[in-house]
Amino acid sequence: MLETAPAVRPTRYERFTLSDRIEHWVQVVAFTGLAITGLVQFAADAAFPRSIISALGGINNTRFIHRSFGVVVLLAMAYHFGTAGYRFYVERIGHEIVPGRRDVRAAVHSALFSLGRRSDRPLEGKFTFSEKIEYWSIIWGTVLMAITGLMMWNPVATTKILPGQFIPAAKAAHGGEAILAVLAILIWHTYFIHIRHFNRSMFHGHLTENEMRRDHPAELSAIHGGGARREIAPEELRRRRSRFFAFYVVVVLVGAVSVIGFLTYEEIAIKTVPPDLQSEQVSAPSGPAEGVGSVDAAIRVVSP
pLDDT over threshold 90, residue 52? yes
Q: What is the pLDDT of residue 264?
A: 93
Short-list 188, 130, 157, CA closest to 258: 157
Q: What is the pLDDT of residue 271?
A: 58
CA–CA distances in Å: residue 74 to residues 81, 110, 280: 11, 35, 56
The string of pLDDT tens digits covering residues 254-270 is 999 999 999 999 876 55
Mean pLDDT value across the chain: 86
d(CA 141, CA 148) in angstroms, rounded, equals 11
The percent of residues in the chain predicted with pLDDT above 90, rounded, is 72
Identity of the residue numbered 270: I
pLDDT over threshold 80, residue 298? no
The string of pLDDT tens digits covering residues 173-194 is 999 999 999 999 999 898 888 8
Q: What is the pLDDT of residue 224?
A: 87
Range list of H helices, the chain:
18-42, 47-55, 59-85, 101-114, 129-153, 155-161, 166-183, 201-204, 209-215, 217-224, 234-263
CB atoms under 10 Å from CB of 41, counted, come to 16
177 neighbors 185 (Cβ within 8 angstroms): no
d(CA 178, CA 102) in angstroms, rounded, equals 31
**Confidence class for position 231, pLDDT limits 50, 70, 90:** confident
d(CA 227, CA 225) in angstroms, rounded, equals 6
pLDDT over threshold 50, residue 210? yes
pLDDT over threshold 80, residue 15? yes
**Confidence class for position 1, pLDDT limits 50, 70, 90:** very low
Classified by CATH at the fold level, domain 12-263 comes out as Fumarate Reductase Cytochrome B subunit (1.20.950)
Q: Please state the domain extents for the chain.
A: 12-263
Per-residue pLDDT, averaged over 191-210, amounts to 91
Per-residue pLDDT, averaged over 97-122, amounts to 93
Is the whole-model pTM more than 0.85? no
HSE, side-chain direction, 13 A CA sphere, residue 120: 5
CA–CA distances in Å: residue 273 to residues 33, 266, 270, 303, 304: 45, 19, 9, 12, 13
Identity of the residue numbered 68: S
Q: What is the pLDDT of residue 226?
A: 73
Beta-carbon contacts of residue 102 (< 8 Å; ≥ 6 apart): none
The string of pLDDT tens digits covering residues 130-189 is 999 999 999 999 999 999 999 999 999 999 999 999 999 999 999 999 999 999 999 989
